Amino acid sequence: GAVVSQHPSRVICKSGTSVKIECRSLDFQATTMFWYRQFPKQSLMLMATSNEGSKATYEQGVEKDKFLINHASLTLSTLTVTSAHPEDSSFYICSARDRKSTDTQYFGPGTRLTVL
Amino acid sequence: GQQLNQSPQSMFIQEGEDVSMNCTSSSIFNTWLWYKQDPGEGPVLLIALYKAGELTSNGRLTAQFGITRKDSFLNISASIPSDVGIYFCAGQNNNDMRFGAGTRLTVKP
């Protein structure tokens, strides 16, 4: 089946630093990847849609200058949390849509970010 | 963005019992999906529904896409301890996927 990986699985950083999270589709090509944020005991909230070779589309209320997204290839999208603050601590999950399948999104295992 | 209304929020059941949960929306979706999420992990797709009225099974799981395209339900039959987790419904139109708040399932052996 389709596999999506994320790296790192957990990261702890100091306030003010930047953190990069990678999302890879391992056995399929993804023209579109999605980034979600999930706070404890809450549902997934879409942050942005990442399109290969073009700018990401951000959801309302998500700062594009704070959450930088790069989708440089058909198998890799990165999310960089810039100048992280404690309130950015969350579980970040990516998903990827198989370019051969128009409907199915496959999720990565998530990245737990803790900002001290 | 638009969120779905998922119920119940939580369920405590005995092993062997059947479970039912559902999602409703004020908007129409072209695709309904059901995911299970274990603690500290990403959601795993259980069932995808593509046509209004469609009834699909995956082992002990059965899900239906409502005729109005605004609702879906998921049934789990003969629950087992490993069914424990959070179940999310999701409605999707092209690139736009919206999630329900989740149903937290606890199964007592």
Give per-residue pLDDT as tens, B55-75: 999 999 999 999 999 999 999
The distance of Cα A64 from the centroid of its chain, to the nearest Å, equals 13
Chain B nearest-CA distance from A72, in A, is: 19
pLDDT per residue of chain A (116 residues) written in tens, 0 to 9: 679 999 999 999 999 999 999 999 998 888 899 999 999 888 999 999 998 888 899 999 999 999 999 988 899 999 999 999 999 999 999 999 887 776 678 899 999 999 99
| Among B19, B28, B22, B18, CA closest to B5 | B22
**Where are the strands (E) in A8-110, listed by range?**
10-13, 19-25, 30-38, 45-51, 57-58, 67-73, 76-81, 90-98, 105-107
pLDDT digits (tens, 9 = 90+) for B1-27: 457 999 999 999 999 999 999 999 999
Chain A nearest-CA distance from B14, in A, is: 23
Does the CB of A43 have a partner CB in chain B at under 8 Å? yes
Q: Which of A32, A91, A103 is facing B31, going by the closest CB pair? A: A103
Helix, strand, coil percent content, chain A, rounded in steps of 5: 5, 55, 45
Does the CB of A97 have a partner CB in chain B at under 8 Å? yes
Q: Which of A4, A46, A93 is facing B97, going by the closest CB pair? A: A46
d(C-alpha B33, C-alpha B38), whole Å? 17
Chain A nearest-CA distance from B64, in A, is: 17
Q: For B81, how many CA atoms within 13 A lie in the half-sphere containing its CB? A: 2
- Residues of chain A contacting residue B44, judged by C-beta atoms under 8 Å apart: 107
